[in-house]
Every structure is written in C-alpha cells, then in structure tokens.
Amino acid sequence: MKLPLYLDYNATTPLDPRVLDAMLPYLTDKFGNAASRNHVYGWEAEEAVERARRQVASVIGADTKEIVFTSGATESDNVAIKGVVEMYGRREGTDRKDHIITQATEHKAVIDTCTYLQQRGWDVTFLPVDRGGSINLEELSQAMTDRTLLVTIMHGNNEIGTLQPIGAIGRLCKQRGILFHTDATQSFGKVPIDVEEMGIDLLSLSAHKIYGPKGIGCLYARRRNPRVRLAIQMHGGGHERNMRSGTLNVPGIVGLGKAAELCQQTMEAESGRLTELRDRLSESIMGQLEDVTLNGHPVDRLPNTVNLSFAYVEGESLMMEMNDVAVSSGSACTSASLEPSFVLRALGVSDDLAHGSIRFSLGRFTTEEEVDYATGRVVSAVRRLREMSPLYEMAKEGVDLSKVDWHAGAG
C-alpha cells in the first residue's frame, strides 16, 4: 500500500498506464498538426483525433460530429452557457428569451458563468436542493417560462456525489422546447449516460477525472432535434467546425479517447466494485463513531463518493491528524474564502458540521485494504480530536450546543 493513500479521485485521477501508452507516440514521433491536410504527419494526427472522437461519442450515445474538444469541463461549461445565450438570447420584445435555470450546488464553472450573465442583465433562477442534494422536478417545471432559454443542471455532484435526475430533467426540457446542458464531469465514465434517452442537448466532461490527462475535455453539442448552435467563444482558425479554434491538443485528445474507452469497457464491474468499497467505508466509520452524518443522497449517488460530517471536530485538523490519507474537506480553513462549503450549506447542513466534513472519493486503483486503512485512521483521528474538543465535552455534559449564545462569551 502506497502512502499517502489517495482518496481524492474527484479532485483528479492519475493517468491510467494504458492511457499514457496510447498518448506517447503523439508526443514524439506522431507530433503532427491535425489541421495539416497535405502530409502524413497531419493525417495520422487527424486520424487519431477522429478515433478519440468515436471513443468519447460512443460512451454517451452521441455522433462523432457532436463532440467538440476543449481544454476541459470549465471551458465546456462556459462555451455551452455563454454560447447558447449569445446565439439564442433576446432581452427585448414580447418573444424575449432571457432566462436560465440552474441549481444551487453546481460547480463554480457553471455558477459563476450564470452569475456573470446575471450581472449583465440575464435572468437566472438558482433552484434550491433538498437535504440529499436533489432538485425538485416540480419546482423546475414551475420555474420554466416562455422566456426560458436554457436549463443547466449537473449530473453528479463533485462534493457529495448526488446524481440529479437528468433523464427526467431532459424530458421536461424537451416538452417545453428548452435547451438542456449538463455538467457530467464527475459522472461521465462512472454511470451510464445516453444523450438521446436523457434528452441532453449539451454535455461537459473532462479527461483528468477519468484517468486521462489534465487540460483536455470536450463539449457534446447536439446536431439533430434540435441542432444546437453556439456563438463562437474562441475565434481563430476555425477548428472543431468553427466551434473552438486553436490547434488541437492531439496527445491530450488521444488520452481522453483512450480513457473514455477504458471507462466504457469497465463501467459496469467497476461501478459495482466501487459502490461496495464506498459503502464499506461509510458503514464501518459510522459503525465505530457516533454523531457522524452522511451528506448527499443515500442511494442516487456516484459509486465512488462519500461525504461525511463529524460533529465536534473541524475538517482541516482532521485532515492534519490523518495526514497519510489524502482527502478533501468542506472546511473553510481549507479554502481562501473562510466560508465553509457552499454545497453543504445548500443542503441545509449547519456551518459547524460543514466545517467538520470530509469527502472521500475512491477510484480505479483503490483497494479494500486501503479503505480499511483509511477507516482506521479516520476513527482514531476523530477520537483524538474529540478528546481535544470543548464542543464534545459540552455535548457530553448535556449542553445543547445549538442553544449556546457563542457571541456573549460562553464562559
């Protein structure tokens, strides 16, 4: 077992060695520009790019012409949302189309893009989520108006793993003639996605979450029923059918394609294996410690993600105490903002519990031995920090912490 143990696969993943093998020739001998039409260097690069396009498209039931390579999911989210708004949006007249619907626990790439548009006069609805992190379809339906242009709702949440019902959302959007974008960065390759069945018009994904390289991702943009056109966000040489100019990152694209193919081949078995490990981790921690809560949906959740709140302890010190296990925390202390996780807040998790939350995200190289090791480290770390915690002491004395007036000087 290699220490520090890596249980932060939602942050990023290592390259699968098979992905690296596929990429290597395109970093050395086959270095051509895919846009060079007049020699073999260009042809072999283009051929590799088209193979990768097929590999990615196949995972989501798309056509190869619907795949636009980008630098990653952040760019894809930006291009999808701004591209649609600029192409179809109208802020005046009786046939206005100036409304976007999204939800509270989106990735910042979506939230901040929507906020940016809001500041420029577009109308944005941020739907709330329930305690499990799911949106309410009834509320979504009620939020839709004749002015609604786009619904952008993620598939799997990066912090808590909750899977939104994107098939049902897609159907609602189809009925109302509204475009539907989903950020599938965390779910792509982990759970089945079919853009036809689910009524998805635009979908963002990234390679480095699926054992591919960083700096490459793609946007799926539907070509039929309806054909989604996007206002150009990156002007230049007209690459990617003029949707995204810039010389193609051929080795990256080859890596993304190979990574997607491997996910497709192993998805069923891997998702079963990870679900078992995920539940083994949370059940065994919760079996040994009291006052631990699971954040996110108990069932409709990514197979690899467990987010737990440990009452009376703070997340950063917890990570420091179990420093040979790499995880992430919703604690404010781990961010520059001094605010605890906005995702957990949106779920209604109190700030003190948000500060004491840890996200474990498992992956392809996680073993049962590692899960058991992490469990042991977490349990002993929480026990030690609780011994050190005045909140734990007060709770044991029977003090109701929620009724203490902390700002009056509790001493």
Partner 1 sequence: MAYDEKVIDHFDNPRNMGSLDKEDDKVGTGIVGAPECGDVMKLQILCDENDRIVDAKFKTFGCGSAIASSSLATEWIKGKRIDEAQEIKNVDIVRELSLPPVKIHCSVLAEDAIKAAIADYRRKRQRSQAEQPEADALRTAGGGS
State in angstroms the smallest separation of the CB of 337 from partner 1. Answer: 10
Instruction: Decide whether 352 or 372 has the Cβ nearer to partner 1.
Output: 352
Helix (H) or strand (E) holding 149: strand 148-152
DSSP H stretches of helix in 120-249: 137-143, 166-176
Q: Identify which of residues 109 and 382 has a Cβ nearer to partner 1 in the complex.
A: 382
- Output 68 or 313, the one with its CB closest to partner 1: 313
- Taking CA 366 as the corner, what is the angle to CA 363 and CA 368, rounded to the nearest 5 degrees? 135
**Rounded to whole angstroms, what are the CA distances from 254 to 41, 54, 260, 279?**
15, 11, 10, 34
Q: Which is nearer to partner 1, 40 or 320 (CB)?
A: 320
114 flagged as catalytic: no
DSSP 218-277: EEEE--SSSPPP---SS-SS-TTTTTS-S---HHHHHHHHHHHHHHHHHHHHHHHHHHHH
Instruction: With beta carbons less than 8 A apart as the criterion, state whether 262 and 268 touch.
Output: no
Q: In what order do the strands lie in the sheet with 148-152?
A: 67-70, 217-221, 202-206, 179-183, 148-152, 99-103, 123-127
- Backbone phi and psi for residue 193, each to the nearest 5 degrees, phi listed first: -135, 135
Residue 119 neighbours by CB distance under 10 Å: 9
Q: Which residues have C-beta within 8 Å of that of residue 339, sequence separation ≥ 6?
A: 332
Which of 303, 323, 314, 388 shows the shortest CA–CA distance to 358?
314
Rounded Cα–Cα distance for residues 110 and 54 (Å)? 27
Comparison of 92 and 387: residue with beta carbon closer to partner 1: 387
Dump strand ranges (E) for 298-390: 305-310, 325-326, 328-329, 357-361
Q: Are 343 and 105 within 8 A, CB to CB?
A: yes
Which residue's CB is nearer to partner 1, number 3 or number 320? 320
Q: Least distance to partner 1 from the beta carbon of 312, Å?
A: 6
Read off the tokens for 167.
């098939």
Q: How far is the CB of 341 from partner 1 (least distance, A)?
A: 11
The distance of closest approach from Cβ of residue 55 to partner 1 in the complex, given in angstroms and rounded to an integer, is: 38
Residues binding partner 1 (CB under 8 A): 312-314, 316-317, 320-321, 331-333, 336, 338, 340, 350-352, 355, 387-393, 401, 406-407, 409-411
Which of 329/361 has CB closer to partner 1?
Answer: 329
**In this structure, what are the phi and psi dihedrals at residue 127, rounded to the nearest 5 degrees?**
-70, 140
* CB 159, min distance to partner 1, A: 17
Longest dimension (CA), the chain: 80
Candidates 114, 218, 263, 333; catalytic one: 333
> Is 1 or 336 the residue whose CB approaches partner 1 more closely?
336
Provide the minimum distance between the beta carbon of 315 and partner 1 in the complex, in angstroms, as a whole number.
Answer: 8
In contact, 188 and 205? CB cutoff 8 Å: yes
Q: State in angstroms the smallest separation of the CB of 346 from partner 1.
A: 16
CA dist., res. 193 & res. 55, Å (int): 14
CB of 292 to partner 1, least distance (A): 16
List the catalytic residues.
Answer: 333
